Amino acid sequence: MLNSLQSFTSKLTRHPGNLKLGQVNTFLNRCGVSHEDLDKLSVIHVAGTKGKGSTCVFCEQLLLYKGYRIGLFTSPHLISVKERFRINGKVISDDKFVFYFWSVYNTLLSKRNDGEELPAYFMFLTVMAYKMFINEKVDVAIIETGIGGEYDSTNILRKTSVIGISSLGFDHTTVLGNTLQEIAWQKSGIMKPNSVTIVANNQPKETHQILIERSIEKQTTLLEAPPFNKYNWYENTSELGVLSTPQEINASLAIQLANAWINRNNKYDWLKECKIGLSGMKQAPIWEINKQDKQALRDVKWFGRNQVLNITPNLSFFLDGAHTIESIQLCSKWYQNVCSKSQLNIKNILIFNVTALRDYSTFLKILLSENKIDVVLLCPIVTLINNHRPDTVDMNFNYEEQLVKCYNMKNSIDICDVEVFNSIQETVEHVKNCSSSEKNINFQVLVTGSLKLVGGVLEVLQS
């Protein structure tokens, strides 16, 4: 039933405007959530192109370790829609999801006007999230935007003390615009008066002036997070394990967001120490990092992003849901750094696909030119052929269309072997069978191009 609310790709147009936010407010009011209720909910709101979900999870863990009750709303999910909602670091239970789903669904259905549609998929889940976190009396809700910021369904808050903007880049250009300046304008739309807005360091130079202008327009204090290595780390950072450069950027932003929220009531004391840097933005404080903070960062688990799974002694999966040009480039570098450098008895396999109308040819060019891939395995983003579980179905593209796209991709690849399979399960089983029959070969399997694809592979591996 929830999946029937999916928005079709063809319906996503640029700048839907404030009408959409008016709809969110209407649906929230019908569910008993007023503007005043939202004003009382303490929120850390995060937008961005890359790393906003990771930033939210790092921030969640830092605050959990300090004893706060945290609500977390992120997207998309990998296996189950429940993953989008966490309370105190744990995915909500089946019972809690069912309770809030039917509470919102039945209320909106009973109060629907003639000819009026129910909210679209993400808008519905946003209404659920706000109602849930208010009812569950969290100390702070960490809210990740869906697409954009200015007109995103989550952006119905009038008061937000702390705003985060992760790394910016190109994605959802049909909705957000074709330039980095347009995208930065949209993402910075979540800025609020009297808030502190912190942006990740190393933002594209084209976005700096837009971010500064928008901060003035929105009456927020704009800060730039410092590089990860600038903090006064307790002992050293080696205990954190291997953090990729993007994750270091995300972790630094999360440290800033968590500390800004904790110190929100005395912000003028620490803001006056912030000096303008080379970017033209004020530089955020170098907060002290203690042993507890390091433990929190080390304990972060964010599946499907720079994740390595060693299945058998000769079979390892490297999973990263990269789905933009910039994130594919970072994924390629990550894979080069973490996989075995030896060329002896190694077989490198790429399991790949993309959702919607993403530029698969550019993605493949990056991955195949920078890595020694022996074979590419393509399949529709369908976990099982006979699987009819609703939240795994992509209603934008039917199965036949996805299969045609796989063969089109196959025909575009001429530098290595390519095979097409009918489902994610069939693809993973093929790899497992190969590794079982050739135990003298070490199979390294990179899975990327889509978080839905990564989620399907994780589901098969866990079953």
The confidence band for 11, taking pLDDT boundaries of 50, 70 and 90, is: very low
DSSP letter for each residue of 11-24? G--S---HHHHHHH
State the Cα–Cα distance between residues 400 and 106, nearest whole angstrom. 35
195 and 228 co-located in one domain: yes
234 and 358 co-located in one domain: no
- Does 223 have pLDDT greater than 90? yes
Dihedral angle at the C-alpha atoms of 273, 277, 279, 285, nearest 10 degrees? -40
Instruction: Give the closest residue to 147 by CA, choosing from 198, 105, 203, 189.
Output: 189
State the Cα–Cα distance between residues 219 and 226, nearest whole angstrom. 22
278 and 317 co-located in one domain: no
pTM value surpassing 0.85? yes
Share of the chain above pLDDT 70, in %: 91
CA distances from 434 to 309, 440, 442, 448 (A): 17, 11, 10, 20
Phi, psi of 164 (to 5 degrees): -125, 140
Mean per-residue pLDDT of the chain? 90
Annotated binding residue at 45? no
State the Cα–Cα distance between residues 450 and 461, nearest whole angstrom. 17
Q: What is the CATH number of the domain that holds 15?
A: 3.40.1190.10
Instruction: Give the closest residue to 231 by CA, choosing from 260, 256, 211, 265.
Output: 256
- Confidence (pLDDT) at 29: 97
Domain count for the chain: 2
State the Cα–Cα distance between residues 28 and 111, nearest whole angstrom. 12
The confidence band for 356, taking pLDDT boundaries of 50, 70 and 90, is: confident
pLDDT in tens, 126-165: 999 999 999 999 999 999 999 889 999 999 999 999 999 9
Are 416 and 436 contacting, i.e. CB atoms less than 8 angstroms apart? no
- Does 254 have pLDDT greater than 90? yes
- Considering only residues 340 and 105, tell me which one the structure prediction assigns the higher pLDDT: 105
Annotated binding residue at 374? no
164 and 21 co-located in one domain: yes
pLDDT in tens, 416-454: 999 999 999 999 999 999 999 999 999 999 999 999 999
Annotated binding residue at 69? no
What residues make up the domain containing 332? 307-462
Q: What is the CATH number of the domain that holds 439?
A: 3.90.190.20
Instruction: Give the closest residue to 77 by CA, choosing from 129, 119, 8, 23.
Output: 129
The confidence band for 247, taking pLDDT boundaries of 50, 70 and 90, is: confident
Determine how β-strand 315-320 pairs with β-strand 307-312.
antiparallel
The confidence band for 9, taking pLDDT boundaries of 50, 70 and 90, is: very low
153 and 81 co-located in one domain: yes
58 and 201 co-located in one domain: yes
Q: What is the mean pLDDT of residues 285-302?
A: 90
The confidence band for 178, taking pLDDT boundaries of 50, 70 and 90, is: confident
DSSP 3-state of 270:
helix
State the Cα–Cα distance between residues 355 and 449, nearest whole angstrom. 8
231 and 347 co-located in one domain: no
295 and 341 co-located in one domain: no
Encode burial over 153-182: b for 16+ CB neighbours within 10 A, e otherwise.
bbbbbeebbbbbbbbbbbbbeebbbeebee
244 and 352 co-located in one domain: no
- Sign of the torsion angle spanned by Cα atoms 72, 73, 77, 83: positive
- Confidence (pLDDT) at 77: 94
DSSP letter assigned to residue 163: E
Annotated binding residue at 35? no
114 and 27 co-located in one domain: yes
State the Cα–Cα distance between residues 258 and 88, nearest whole angstrom. 15
Q: What is the mean pLDDT of residues 116-129?
A: 95
CA distances from 407 to 101, 112, 290, 378, 411 (A): 39, 44, 53, 8, 6
334 and 199 co-located in one domain: no
Determine how β-strand 307-312 pairs with β-strand 282-283.
unpaired
22 and 98 co-located in one domain: yes
- Confidence (pLDDT) at 10: 42
Residue that finishes a domain, picked among 260, 282, 299? 299
Annotated binding residue at 305? yes
Residue that finishes a domain, picked among 267, 299, 331? 299
Are 154 and 133 contacting, i.e. CB atoms less than 8 angstroms apart? no
- Considering only residues 5 and 365, tell me which one the structure prediction assigns the higher pLDDT: 365
* List of residues 6+ apart from 64 with CB closer than 8 A: 70, 88, 89, 296
CA distances from 85 to 76, 360, 404 (A): 11, 30, 35
- Does 235 have pLDDT greater than 70? no
pLDDT in tens, 197-222: 999 998 999 999 999 999 999 999 99
- Confidence (pLDDT) at 387: 64
DSSP letter for each residue of 216-245? HHHT-EEEEPPPGGGSB-SS-SGGG----H
The residue behind tokens 């190969």 is 434
The confidence band for 237, taking pLDDT boundaries of 50, 70 and 90, is: low
Are 316 and 309 contacting, i.e. CB atoms less than 8 angstroms apart? yes
The tokens describing 94, both together, are 């089946």
- Does 396 have pLDDT greater than 90? no
* List of residues 6+ apart from 153 with CB closer than 8 A: 20, 21, 24, 122, 123, 126, 146
Residue that finishes a domain, picked among 299, 317, 335? 299
DSSP letter assigned to residue 383: S
- Confidence (pLDDT) at 393: 59
